[in-house]
Chains A and B, each alone.
Chain A
Amino acid sequence: MISIHLILFLAFGAVALAGAINLLAQTHPINSALSLIAVMAALAGEYLLLGAEFVAAVQVIVYAGAVMVLFVFVIMLLNAGVEEHTKGSHVAVLFGIPGTLLGSILVAWVVLRHSGTGAVAVGALPGPPKTIGPLLFHEFLLPFEITSILILVAIMGAVVLASKPPSSPPGGPKGVD
């Protein structure tokens, strides 16, 4: 049944797919980062189609607007240039292409076998922040708190990795008094 929702779903999905393929195909990292931003925006559109408007807005604010800004920031700061072109690997082609085909056939078979039983309708997920708030603090409290501890650990790890190494203890000969 061709409805506007199907068309929008296919459009956002096509943009996400094109962005992801472009991410791999581009040689300059800044183009790859911009393709990833397009993927994030398309995913936000998909979330909106599912009815999760808060998640869609937060996806844009956090992922596309902060995490990807930091990716772009690092690429600009380190002046990353065009990737160097290495010779292809025969082993990768010999095992990789059949392996990828096998994997995608497997995934497609599993998905088609289960289609219709767990398919999500348009607008099915909780949307407004008023309904998500209680969910986060009642049913999903444990994952919420564990995620925040995980983020704290990541921040501490980043601070430790980026700090200066401890300086050598003060010693050596004193001046002639």
Chain B
Amino acid sequence: MRGIGALPIWVYILASVIKSAVVLGVLLTAVAYTVWLERKVVGHMQNRWGPTRVGPFGLLQPAADGLKFLFKEDLTPPHVYKPLYIAAPLIAVIFALTSISMIPFGNSVTIAGYSIPLQITDVNTGLLIILGITSIGVYGVALAGWSSNNKYSLLGGLRASAQMVSYEISLGLSLVGVLIMAGSFSLRDIVNAQRGHFLGFIPHWYVLPQFIGFFCYLMAAYAETNRIPFDLPEAETELVAGYHTEYSAMKFAMFFMAEYANMITVACLATLLFFGGWNGPVFGPAILQAVLPVFWFAAKVFAFLFLYIWVRGTLPRFRYDQLMAFGWKFLLPLALVNLIGTAIAVAW
């Protein structure tokens, strides 16, 4: 494990516990306020206000929603297969929240003489582990659809799992271009490889040489997180509510949290792999220099979340056969072409 060599074991454990608590708290708050942001932005795009009543600009709406979910009756219909019915939202939310542990937020900060990296763990196959965690997250959706014992849920669950498995391939292949250029699976190494500028002002971000890979990644990630234009598995007008039809109160809230946490993970990965992570102009006194990289990271993640919500408010959804054809017949060959082109360019 990196970092444990230079730090005594009690410092390492204390730092890990504090980092886990802070990151989890920030992530859950970010999930709640991403819901607020979506309601506001989509509302304004549709020429209406969105939440305005609960607190200034509706900012306390997520708190009100959280209380509502806690107090709502948690109904378990009698016809469901109980063990998997209860396990499915747990699987979805646990794996959605776990992948944040691999994501670095900034350089190391020095506290009391110890240099602590701003990342919960820096595994040297970090990107591969995040892909593995998203692969396992498919089970939450599939088992929810099946255990609900309801034809709409089953169809939604089957469609969602087939879609997610299909687009995982394009997702993985679109990232291999970045891996070839960076030479490492560790997320921190990939961000560090994007330091520096061409001609003094164009940053060395991988989106510029890898724009095809970035496009493939964005499309595949939208399909993996079941967002418009790929959200047929949970479309209200098609399947009642898809795989979470029979869920109420806190279990439904867990599916919601899992979806938004996946969105945030995807946005974090996009900034780390294609947009230079926390690299940005750093100036000022030492305390500002420690905080500014995290600020740049947060700003870029916010831009990607806004892009997600913007696309949601703008595009209609794909029909299911169009969706699968797009994934297998267009995106996969494009990702392969990108891979071959990058390999030839790097080996030259």
Contact A61 B161 (CB under 8 A): no
Across the two chains, which residue of chain B brings its CB closest to A60? B132
Contact B165 A72 (CB under 8 A): no
Q: Provide the residues of chain B in CB contact with A37, threshold 8 Å.
A: 139
CB distance from A133 to the nearest CB of B (A): 11
Q: Is A150 an interface residue (CB 8 A)?
A: no
Number of interface residues of A (CB under 8 A): 19
Q: Which of B143-196 contact A (CB under 8 A)?
A: 143, 145-146, 154, 157-158, 161-162, 165, 168, 172, 185
Q: Provide the residues of chain A in CB contact with B168, threshold 8 Å.
A: 61, 65-66
As a 0/1 sequence over residues 119 to 148 of chain B, the CB contacts with chain A under 8 angstroms (1 = contact) are: 000011100110110011011001101100
Q: Provide the residues of chain A in CB contact with B154, threshold 8 Å.
A: 76
Q: Is B84 an interface residue (CB 8 A)?
A: yes
CB distance from A156 to the nearest CB of B (A): 16
Contact A70 B128 (CB under 8 A): no
Q: Provide the residues of chain B in CB contact with A76, threshold 8 Å.
A: 142, 145-146, 154, 157-158
Q: Provide the residues of chain A in CB contact with B145, threshold 8 Å.
A: 76
As a 0/1 sequence over residues 43 to 69 of chain A, the CB contacts with chain B under 8 angstroms (1 = contact) are: 000000000011001101100111001
Q: Is A129 an interface residue (CB 8 A)?
A: yes
Across the two chains, which residue of chain B brings its CB closest to A44? B132
Check A65/B146 contact, CB under 8 A, given A53-B125, A70-B165, A76-B154. no
Q: Provide the residues of chain B in CB contact with A69, threshold 8 Å.
A: 135, 138-139, 142, 161, 165
Contact B125 A65 (CB under 8 A): no
Contact A64 B135 (CB under 8 A): yes
CB distance from A157 to the nearest CB of B (A): 19
Q: Is A99 an interface residue (CB 8 A)?
A: no
- CA A72 to CA B131, docked complex, whole Å: 20
Contact B142 A73 (CB under 8 A): yes
Contact B129 A73 (CB under 8 A): no
Check A77/B129 contact, CB under 8 A, given A60-B135, A72-B143, A129-B185. no
CB distance from B297 to the nearest CB of A (A): 25
Check A57/B162 contact, CB under 8 A, given A72-B142, A72-B143. no
CB distance from A134 to the nearest CB of B (A): 14
- CA A69 to CA B136, docked complex, whole Å: 9
Contact A128 B125 (CB under 8 A): yes
Contact B125 A57 (CB under 8 A): yes
What are 8 contact pairs spanning A and B, CB under 8 A? A54-B128, A61-B172, A64-B135, A69-B135, A72-B142, A73-B161, A128-B124, A129-B125
* Chain B residues close to A by CB (< 8 Å): 84, 123-125, 128-129, 131-132, 135-136, 138-139, 142-143, 145-146, 154, 157-158, 161-162, 165, 168, 172, 185
Pick the 4 closest A-B CB pairs, nearest first.
A65-B135, A57-B128, A60-B132, A76-B146
